[in-house]
């Protein structure tokens, strides 16, 4: 009998996605900054305490906009955890800046704030903390450096640190709506602007360096090229899909919470007996249940568990490889031993299927397979 595979992720509709997409077509505005883009930005602003939000074509592009807004250029340095997706670093490297790779804490897997002071130089122009798995970094210690902060909040929408929404601490933050995220539309992102002095120029950069947004608001009678920029505006079709996801966020989050907490409860004893560590969420952090991971004792055990689950039709995956040890990272000065916690965690981390459409029966299969390992 053929076993139905359980994927790592399975994007599913949550509400009015198709209805809104059809309505966007009927409205006759499929390019960017239409009705649904404005509605998404308004709702996200409300969720994030009033911050200015601009939808972008990806979280990567939102990070590129942040680098432009900070005036990053050749000779500058920025601090970024080695344990993150390549976009966090690449967006600033594109402007000619050099990454200074930071190690992570062994508990939350976030940027280790205790090591920040040793990484700061007169050339440091930005710090890019990443809220791994949606668990907040220690933002007070990061902000007290006085260096501009851009939060990579791709995992952290709906999470908070000391009762304040993640993404609202730095001068800017970025969001992802890739299909693996809690709310999605395939591919898109957002730039969250907490410093109001950056908002006007952000509009221009996002619109290919033109003042087109002011023209559409009736503030000027024509628009023209006024600055550098690129095409960072997503289609209103994507925003239509995303709005339906955002409106269904409470139901989505409730499902993710149940799945995450069931894993934690039913795997706790097995993990303790095998020397496996489950996710760490400090009491002052509210997580959005973005992903559920395990830290195995060794690379060999991690790989054996992946193979074991694959044999039972279950897709479990590792995560980031250390940026400082990548081919590009080494060209930029990274060396083995620079970030020992990152190097260890990268070899041992495994993520389990964790998405709203994971059925109780499917999750039971995953847990049963885990307990049999």
* Beta carbons within 8 Å of 24's beta carbon, 6+ residues apart: 30, 34, 35, 36, 236, 237, 239, 240
Half-sphere exposure of 72 toward its Cβ, with a 13 Å CA cutoff? Answer: 30
Written as six digits, the tokens of 85 are: 């997706």
* Beta carbons within 8 Å of 3's beta carbon, 6+ residues apart: 312, 313
User: In this structure, what DSSP letter does residue 39 have?
Assistant: H
CA 134, 139, 141, 147 torsion-angle sign: positive
What are the beta bridge partners of residue 104? Answer: 111
Task: Give catalytic residues, as residue numbers.
Answer: 181
Question: Nearest CA to 68 among 179, 224, 209, 164?
Answer: 209
As a whole number of angstroms, the distance between CA 75 and CA 62 comes to 22
* Rg of the Cα atoms in the chain: 21
Rounded to 5°, angle at Cα 41 from 252 and 56:
95
What b/e sequence results for 151-188 when a residue is b if at least 16 CB atoms lie within 10 Å of its CB, and e otherwise? Answer: bbbbbbbbbbbeeebbbbbbbbbbbbbbebbbbbbeeb
Report in angstroms the alpha-carbon separations of 71 from 64, 74, 173, 347.
11, 10, 16, 36
As a whole number of angstroms, the distance between CA 52 and CA 200 comes to 10
């Amino acid at each position: 009998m053929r076993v139905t595979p359980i994927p790592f992720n399975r994007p599913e509709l949550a509400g009015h996605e198709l209805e809104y997409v059809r309505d966007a077509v009927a409205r006759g505005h499929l390019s960017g900054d239409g009705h649904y883009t404005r509605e998404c930005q308004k709702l996200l602003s409300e969720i994030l305490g009033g911050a200015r939000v601009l939808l972008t074509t990806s979280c990567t592009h939102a990070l590129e906009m942040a680098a432009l807004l900070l005036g990053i250029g050749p000779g500058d340095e920025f601090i970024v955890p080695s344990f993150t997706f390549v976009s966090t670093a690449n967006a600033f490297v594109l402007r000619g800046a050099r990454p200074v790779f930071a190690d992570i804490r062994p508990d939350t897997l976030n940027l280790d704030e205790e090591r920040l002071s040793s990484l700061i130089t007169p050339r440091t122009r930005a710090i890019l903390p990443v809220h791994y798995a949606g668990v907040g970094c220690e933002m007070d210690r990061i902000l007290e450096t006085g260096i501009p902060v851009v939060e990579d909040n791709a995992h952290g929408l709906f999470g908070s640190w000391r009762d304040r929404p993640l993404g609202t601490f730095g001068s800017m933050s970025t969001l992802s709506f890739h299909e693996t995220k809690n709310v999605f539309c395939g591919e898109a992102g957002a730039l969250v602007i907490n410093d109001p002095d950056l908002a006007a120029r952000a509009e221009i950069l996002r619109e290919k360096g033109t003042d087109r947004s002011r023209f559409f608001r009736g503030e000027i009678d024509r628009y023209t090229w006024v600055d550098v920029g690129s095409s960072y505006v997503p289609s209103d079709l994507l925003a239509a899909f995303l709005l339906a996801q955002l409106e269904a966020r409470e139901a989505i989050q409730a499902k993710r919470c149940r799945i995450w907490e069931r894993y934690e409860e039913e795997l706790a004893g097995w993990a303790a007996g095998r020397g496996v560590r489950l996710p760490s969420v400090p009491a002052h952090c509210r997580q959005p249940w973005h992903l559920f991971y395990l830290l195995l004792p060794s690379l060999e055990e991690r790989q054996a568990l992946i193979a074991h689950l694959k044999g039972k039709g279950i897709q479990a995956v590792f995560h980031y490889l250390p940026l400082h040890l990548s081919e590009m990272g080494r060209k930029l000065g990274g060396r083995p031993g620079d970030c020992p916690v990152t190097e260890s965690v990268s070899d041992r981390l495994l993520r389990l299927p964790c998405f709203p459409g994971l059925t109780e029966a499917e999750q039971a299969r995953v847990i049963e397979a885990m307990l049999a390992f």
